[in-house]
Amino acid sequence: MRFIKRFYNYYFAPNKGLAKRLKPLLGYTPTNLKLYVQAFAHKSSHSQKLSGSHNNERLEYLGDAVLGTIVAEYLFKKYPNKDEGFLTKMRSKIVKRKTLDTVGENMGLDAFLGEFNATRLSRSMMGNAVEALVGAVYLERGYNKTKYFVINKMLRLYVNVIALETFDDNYKSQLLEWCQKNGKIVSYKTVSKYKMDKRDRFKVAVYINDEKIATADDFNKKSAEQHASLKALKILKIYNNNHTT
Amino acid sequence: MRFIKRFYNYYFAPNKGLAKRLKPLLGYTPTNLKLYVQAFAHKSSHSQKLSGSHNNERLEYLGDAVLGTIVAEYLFKKYPNKDEGFLTKMRSKIVKRKTLDTVGENMGLDAFLGEFNATRLSRSMMGNAVEALVGAVYLERGYNKTKYFVINKMLRLYVNVIALETFDDNYKSQLLEWCQKNGKIVSYKTVSKYKMDKRDRFKVAVYINDEKIATADDFNKKSAEQHASLKALKILKIYNNNHTT
């Protein structure tokens, strides 16, 4: 009997404090802890603690959809006079990987991910965990309570929606605008074209007043130019990424 | 007073029967009719009846998200042992334009679209109207009742989910499979490459046993081959598109 108890404690005690630690994050005390353990279990993990339960990919799939709808409705009501194009663009700025990674970081999800995974944490695991967590909350609490959680415990705390309105991820046009304001001339040159994974790949350089500022590679010239422009904006210290708080 | 009444009847009488006619479609009698009129108002419409109200694009944006989540959850629960890849693929088969167009057609939305639009109806307006209608239902009835509507009044009636499981829209691999079964050899040739809207465009021909079966054009060879393969499948009468009922 003592052995069973010790066995039980060894395997399940780590989750005992989990409900308490999740409470400030969620705004309520979760009861179906299995769901939350699963939300933090990355597919790459081979942690003993998770044997028997699934990883978080199915929850991520569900949470991605639920989060998208909650954000869609939030924007629909926040901007009653904006058209569908504006709303769609705003939504993708909020639910994109990079924003969610920062949200997950600010929520302190790395501590939970560290606990339930044996592998090294990567930044993109944060955004995945945010989605999986939304999926877990949805399964336990339903749509309306998940909406409350997403809006009050994520959006309002960690996403600067107003800053996102003017946030522009067309780096090429940002760089062009800056150059025009400052009387400089920007130009792009294809430095080389090569093969990678049997596909054409381009190395592009961005020049300002004939001075090479940065280079970048991608599978098409347009994306390579965008990457190079972003690098240039950072080098020139004119890049302002203030959409997460 | 009589004038006002006549004016009122002239402009609003068409909607008087609307609630009654929508009931069998929705499963309940809608009260906020303005929402439903808006759901059927295509942006291209210049119908007098709609002056002052918005077109259906905002509702379509909202309904698209809500429908996506409902379908995501439906599949999540229907297939408890399937991975996220399968679920994502199934979801996109259900919510893709072509499926929704057929659903809208089967729901008889063309009658409503014809009533509230002065322009000629196109097939893609059906799918848009399905999404906008889901948006309207959501705003009037909330998430859970919309879920009931989507599952019982749309999915179960007009989408053959089981058939979609095996539905494969990789026409090239379907054609290859058929040829291998029947001891035939399939091959593709690029017939010509030309410019359209400043972009390269390819004409591709598909051959079976050196006999040219079909040709198709697109901006890349891969899609042109897919289109040509679909044409060939139809010509050979081996194309089976039975995912809507």
Residue whose structure tokens are 């010790």: A6
> CB distance A65–B84 less than 8 Å?
no
Single out the residue in A108, A142, A166 at which a domain terminates: A166
For residue B107, what are its two tokens? 């729901």
Residues B124 and B183 in one domain: no
Residues A52 and A160 in one domain: yes
For residue B104, what are its two tokens? 């809208």
Q: What is the mean pLDDT of residues A70-92?
A: 95
Amino acid at A216: A
Residue A242 counted as domain residue:
no
pLDDT at B233: 92
Residue B243 counted as domain residue:
no
Residues B94 and B183 in one domain: no
Residue B244 counted as domain residue:
no
Shortest alpha-carbon distance between residue B138 and chain A (Å): 10
Q: Report the SS3 class of residue A197.
A: coil
Residue B10, domain CATH = 1.10.1520.10
Residue A245 counted as domain residue:
no
ipTM: 0.71
Work out the burial of residue B127: count CB atoms within 10 Å of its CB; fewer than 13 is exposed, 13-18 middle, 19 or more buried: buried
Closest of B238, B231, B242 to residue B207, by C-alpha: B231
On the CB side of A154, CA atoms within 13 Å amount to 28
H or E segment and range at residue A174? helix A171-181
Residue A219, domain CATH = 3.30.160.20
Return the DSSP state at B154: I
Shortest alpha-carbon distance between residue A202 and chain B (Å): 18
Residues A95 and A197 in one domain: no
pLDDT digits (tens, 9 = 90+) for B10-67: 455 556 688 999 999 999 999 999 999 999 988 766 444 443 346 789 999 999 999 9
Q: Among A84, A141, A220, A222, pick the best mutation site for testing chain B contact (most B Cβ within 10 A).
A: A84
Residues B144 and B175 in one domain: no
- Asked whether the predicted pLDDT for residue B241 surpasses 50, the reply is yes
> CB distance B66–A69 less than 8 Å?
yes
Nearest CB to B76; choose among A58, A72, A91: A58
Residues A125 and A153 in one domain: yes
Residues A115 and A10 in one domain: yes
Compare all CA atoms of chain A with the CA of B132 and give the residue at the minimum distance: A84
The Cα A105–Cα A67 span in angstroms is 17
Question: Which of A184-198, B43-57, B228-242 shows the lowest mean pLDDT across its residues?
Answer: B43-57
Q: How many domains does chain B have?
A: 2
Question: Which of A7-21, A82-96, B65-79, B206-220 shows the lowest mean pLDDT across its residues?
Answer: A7-21
Distances (CA, A) of B18 to A160, A206, B41, B55, B157: 42, 60, 14, 18, 22
Residues B20 and B113 in one domain: yes
Residues A81 and A181 in one domain: no
Residues A15 and A132 in one domain: yes
| Bridge partners for A111 per DSSP | none
B94 interaction partners in chain A (CB closer than 8 Å): none
Residue B22 counted as domain residue:
yes
Single out the residue in B147, B166, B185 at which a domain terminates: B166
Single out the residue in A166, A183, A206 at which a domain terminates: A166
> CB distance A76–B61 less than 8 Å?
yes
Residue A241 counted as domain residue:
no
Residue B45 counted as domain residue:
yes
A positions 59-98 inside 8 Å of B (CB)? 60-62, 64-66, 68-69, 72-73, 76, 83-84, 87-88, 91
The Cα B177–Cα B236 span in angstroms is 13
Return all residues near B239 (Cβ < 8 A) that are at least 6 apart. B171, B174, B230, B233
Residue A143 counted as domain residue:
yes
A14 touches chain B (CB under 8 A): no
Shortest alpha-carbon distance between residue B65 and chain A (Å): 5
Catalogue the long-range contacts made by B138-143 (C-beta closer than 8 Å, 24 or more residues apart).
B138/A73, B138/B62, B138/B63, B138/B66, B139/B32, B139/B35, B139/B59, B139/B62, B140/B30, B140/B31, B140/B32, B140/B35, B141/B28, B142/A144, B143/A143, B143/A144, B143/B66
pLDDT digits (tens, 9 = 90+) for B147-205: 999 999 999 999 999 888 877 777 888 898 899 889 999 999 999 999 887 788 999 99
Residues A43 and A151 in one domain: yes
What is the extent of the structural domain holding B175?
171-235
> CB distance A62–B83 less than 8 Å?
no
* pTM for the predicted model, two decimal places: 0.72
Residues A193 and A141 in one domain: no
